[in-house]
Amino acid sequence: MIFVITLNLQKKRLRILLATLVIGMASCEKQPESKTQKSGQSAQVKNADVLPYLNDDAFQVEIKSENCTKSVCEKIEILSLKTADQWVNQQLNNHLAFVIQDQINEKEQLSLDQSIETYISRSESWMKEFSLNQPYELDILTQVATQRNQYVLIQFIVNTKQAEVIVKDRGYFMVLDRKQKKVLQLQDVIQKNQINDFERILQVSYQKWLKAQSGEVRSIAPVNLSWQNQEWFFDGEGIGVHIRANEIVKGGEQLDIYLNHAQTKQVVVPQIFQKMF
């Protein structure tokens, strides 16, 4: 029996992420050229705090493995991004490694090459169990979902076929602060004096989610949602929290919580809000 899990990443505001990227690129292209060198230098001084727009080129990650047989490796396709910012490139590699490891529940911290090697080894082990077992399939698409000033949202979309389980459109998010050279966690952007209000917003959505789950899931799900280490995203309206299926509790569905503009302004650190929105 083959199980298929489809995770819808295009609900409501998540559609805005790609639209924001297109709009951002268009606005970047439409900026008028400086009339004189003097005015250009003046604008540069005025906007010295603004980082240049992060352009990216897609490329296919090379699979470096001595165990890379055609039957296995032709089933693995990882599209990443290359930018002019080497720090961003390193974070992309680090998070890709995490994403790959998450597909096989590998907890050890590995490099990108090591994570691919481990994934291939797991596939080979599965194939050796029974002659008809097929190699694992892995497809990862990496994209800049949106960016605003120094803040960049990277989205990873994963499709896998492992053993008898097919997963479609599993989403991962990473928010980068290019100026501070920091991967921003949700707890980095929430004001300490607004944590209680933020938690109340989350719990309202969480309770609605709980009611929609099966009785078995509800019986073992936590009473309150732990949010500090959850992935998050931002778009033109506000921030959101993204929790993949089975992460709150085994059998639990995906949960996306959206904060509107007013809620976001209330809870996000003002210095971050001003530059992110």
| Domain edges within the chain | 1-29+50-184, 185-277
Q: How many CA atoms lie within 13 A of 177 on its CB side?
A: 15
> What mean pLDDT do residues 152-158 have?
98
pLDDT score of 3 more than 50: no
179 alpha-carbon distance from chain centroid: 19
Of 275 and 74, the one with more pLDDT: 275
Q: In this predicted structure, what is the pLDDT of residue 67?
A: 75
Q: Return d(Cα 179, Cα 48) in angstroms, integer.
A: 12
> What mean pLDDT do residues 144-164 have?
97
Of 158 and 24, the one with more pLDDT: 158
pLDDT above 70 covers a percentage of the chain that reads: 82
In whole numbers, what is the pLDDT of the chain averaged over residues? 87
Q: In this predicted structure, what is the pLDDT of residue 49?
A: 67
Q: In this predicted structure, what is the pLDDT of residue 22?
A: 39
Q: In this predicted structure, what is the pLDDT of residue 7?
A: 53
Q: What is the dihedral of CA 244, 247, 253, 255, to 10 degrees?
A: -50
pLDDT score of 217 more than 60: yes
> What mean pLDDT do residues 263-269 have?
99
> What mean pLDDT do residues 96-119 have?
97
- Domain at 1-29+50-184, CATH class: alpha beta
pLDDT score of 16 more than 60: no
pLDDT score of 29 more than 70: no
> What mean pLDDT do residues 151-155 have?
98
Q: In this predicted structure, what is the pLDDT of residue 64?
A: 83
The mean-pLDDT minimum among 25-29, 50-54, 132-136, 187-191 falls in: 25-29
- Say which amino acid occupies 230: Q
Q: In this predicted structure, what is the pLDDT of residue 263?
A: 99
Q: In this predicted structure, what is the pLDDT of residue 65?
A: 80
> Which pLDDT tens digit goes with each residue over 58-76?
999 998 887 777 777 889 9
User: The domain 185-277: what is its CATH number?
Assistant: 3.90.640.20
pLDDT score of 129 more than 80: yes
Of 23 and 218, the one with more pLDDT: 218
> Which pLDDT tens digit goes with each residue over 163-199?
989 999 999 999 999 999 999 999 999 999 999 999 9
pLDDT band at 33 (very low <50, low <70, confident <90, very high): very low
pLDDT above 90 covers a percentage of the chain that reads: 76
